[in-house]
Amino acid sequence: MPSTLIGSLLVYPGQGVARVEALEERTIGCDPLEFYRIAVLETDHTIWLPAARIGSGCFRALVDRDGAERVLKRLAEPAPAESAMSWIQRSRRLDDSLASGELERVAEVYRYMFKMKVTGSLSFIQMKLLENARRMVLQELGAVLERDPTELGSQIERRFQELVSEREAA
């Protein structure tokens, strides 16, 4: 990642959209090393990525506009039927999807957890999972589509609510 990319946005898996703020030298032990300072948007998290790890696949570019539109379209469709599995298995799958940082997988976590919230109550851990998935999806969609994440969230969640109501009425 050349220093010309400072200021650009990227996705750090498990964290969400982040901005490359600077290339800085820090001393670790007695050795001076170069690190990229990366700030995760909407949180106070800062990631120090060793310059030597660039290209190791620890982050990805934001999806393109077509990818973002595809995810929005999928979120507006009814969720596929759920397979029978225990909450522990499902929780692991949801955690893995969130940690992957892949927009499509994180969006599925968002949809699933929102449906759980509407049809019942969520535990503290489940609520955190929903909040993290929501933040990650809306940040990336907002950045790519140049739309306000709050408005996008309202639009998506209205559709989620409609889908749940339609399913209950059927």
Q: Give pLDDT, residue 2.
A: 54
Q: pLDDT per residue over 54-92, tens digit each?
A: 777 778 899 999 999 999 999 988 877 777 788 889 889
Percent of the chain with pLDDT over 90: 51
Q: Give pLDDT, residue 54.
A: 75
Q: Give pLDDT, residue 44.
A: 86
Amino acid, single-letter form, for residue 1: M
Q: Give pLDDT, residue 140.
A: 96
Q: Give the DSSP letter of residue 61.
A: P
Q: Which residues, 6 or more positions from 140, have their beta carbon under 8 angstroms from its beta carbon?
A: 11, 16, 17, 62, 63, 68, 103
Residue range 65-169 in CATH 1.20.58.1290? yes
Q: What angle is formed at CA 134 by the lines to CA 133 and CA 136, rounded to 5 degrees?
A: 65
Q: pLDDT per residue over 129-169, tens digit each?
A: 999 999 999 999 999 999 999 999 999 999 888 887 887 77
- Taking each continuous run of H as one helix and of E as one strand, the counts in the chain are 5, 4
4 confidence band (pLDDT: 50, 70, 90): low
Amino acid, single-letter form, for residue 151: E
Residue 2: count other Cβ atoms within 10 Å of its Cβ.
7
CATH entry, 3-53, from 1.10.1670.10, 3.40.50.620, 2.40.10.170, 3.40.50.720: 2.40.10.170
Supply the DSSP string of 11-35, one letter for each residue. Answer: EETTTEEEEEEEEEEEEETTEEEEE
Domain ranges of the chain: 3-53, 65-169
Residue bearing the bigger pLDDT, 18 or 165: 18
170 confidence band (pLDDT: 50, 70, 90): low
Mean pLDDT of all residues belonging to the chain: 88
Name the nearest CA neighbour of 12 among 31, 33, 39, 50: 39
115 confidence band (pLDDT: 50, 70, 90): confident
Flag whether pLDDT at 1 surpasses 60: no
Name the nearest CA neighbour of 126 among 137, 136, 114, 108: 114
What's the token pair of residue 41? 């948007």
10 confidence band (pLDDT: 50, 70, 90): very high
